[in-house]
Amino acid sequence: MSVTSGTLERSAARPAAPAPPPGRRTRRAFTRRRALTIAAFLAPAAVFVAIFTYYPLLSGGVGAFRTWTVYNITNQPWVGFGNFETVLNDPLFYSTVGNTVLWVIGSLVPQFVIGFALALWLRPKFRFRGIYQALVFFPWAVSGFLIGILFRWMFNGEFGVVNDLLMKTGIIDTPLPWLADPALAMPAIILANVWYGVTFFAIMILAALQSVPDELYEAASLDGAGRVRAFWHVTVPYIRTTLALTVLLRTIWIFNFPDLIFGMTGGGPGGRTHIVTSYMIEITQQGDYGRASALGLIVFMVLAIFAVFYLLATRERKEALR
C-alpha cells in the first residue's frame, strides 16, 4: 500500500543519495538501521520485564538485609543477617523444607511414570485419539488455586466424596479427617498435584517419541529385536535428553507451585502442609517483607542451582543436535 517506510526506518533515513558508492559507508548505515530495528522491537518487552520483574527481585534481594515491614514502611534500617537468623531459628521453616522435598519428589515420580505410560499408550493412532487428548488436557485449563479448591471439597472430612467412595468400597469404616491431619494432608495435596501434572509429561514425552526416526525401529526389527528391547535400546537412548530436560523443568515448576496448596489447605493444619514457597507467601501477607525476602533469597539460591543445570542441559542438547 503506502510506499513510505515506517517510523523505524524514517529515523535512520537520509536524503536519497544518487546511487550510493558501494563500501563501508552504506554498510555502516545498514548495520545502524538494523541495530535500531532490533532495539525498537525489543524495547517494550525489555522495559516491562526489567521494571516489573527484575527490579522487584533485586530490591527484594537488598531488602532481605533490612528490617522491612508493611507497618513501618518508611523506616528500613540495615540488619545484616538478622532476617536470615529469624528464618533459620524458625522451627516451622525446617518442616516446610521437609515438606518441599516430599512434595517435589512425591509429585514428580508418579507424574513422570504415569505421563510416560500415557505417552506410550497414546502413540499408536486410534479412532478417538484427538478427542481423548483434548479431554485429558483439561486439568491444564484449571488454575492451581482452583485445583486446590476442587480437591479440598472432595477430601472434605464430613461431606467429601473421597471418604464416601472409600467407605462404599469397604476400604475404610469411619470417615478420615483428610485435611485436618498433616500425615494425611500431604499425600492428599500430592495426589491433587499428580492429577494436574501428568498431562505435561504426557505431552512432552509423546512429542519426543514421535521424533524418533522410523528407520531406527526398522533396523532394530531386522536385528530381531522385539518391542521391549527396541524400547530400551532405541527409544530410551534417543529421547534421554528430552526426558532429563522435562524432569528438570518440571522440578522447578513444582517447587514454584504453592497455588495448589494455598487453595487446598492454606498451609494448614498449623502450617504443617506448607512448602517453602507457600510459607514465603504467608509471611509476605503477614507484612514482614524483610523476612519474606530473606526466605525468597534462599529459594532463589536453590532455584538458581536447578536453573543452571537446566540451561547447561539445553546447551548440551543444542550441541548434540548440531
Within 150-209, the residues that bind another protein by CB under 8 A are 150-154, 156, 158-159, 161, 164, 195, 198, 200, 203-204, 207, 209
- Contacting another protein within 51-80 (CB under 8 A): 51-57, 59-60, 63, 68, 70, 73
Residue 9 one-letter amino acid: E
- The minimum distance between CB 109 and another protein, in angstroms, equals 17
Give yes or no for a contact between 50 and 271, defined as CB atoms under 8 angstroms apart: no
DSSP secondary structure code for residue 51 in this structure = I
Identify the residue among 104, 122, 179, 190 touching another protein (CB under 8 A): 122
CA 112 – CA 106 distance, rounded (Å): 11
Site string for another protein, 13-52 (x = CB under 8 A): ---------------------xx-xx--xx-xxx-xx-xx
- The minimum distance between CB 24 and another protein, in angstroms, equals 20
Give yes or no for a contact between 264 and 152, defined as CB atoms under 8 angstroms apart: yes
Site string for another protein, 250-289 (x = CB under 8 A): --x---x-xx--xx--x----------x--xx--xx---x
- Contacting another protein within 227-246 (CB under 8 A): 227, 229-231, 234-235, 242, 245-246
- DSSP H helices in 80-213: 82-88, 91-122, 129-136, 144-154, 161-168, 182-210
Identify the residue among 6, 20, 237, 270 touching another protein (CB under 8 A): 6
The label of the residue with cell 486439568 reads: 139
- The minimum distance between CB 126 and another protein, in angstroms, equals 8
At 78 the three-state DSSP class reads: strand
Q: Is 226 in the site for another protein (CB under 8 A)?
A: yes
The label of the residue with cell 528391547 reads: 229
CA atoms within 13 A on the CB side of 112: 17
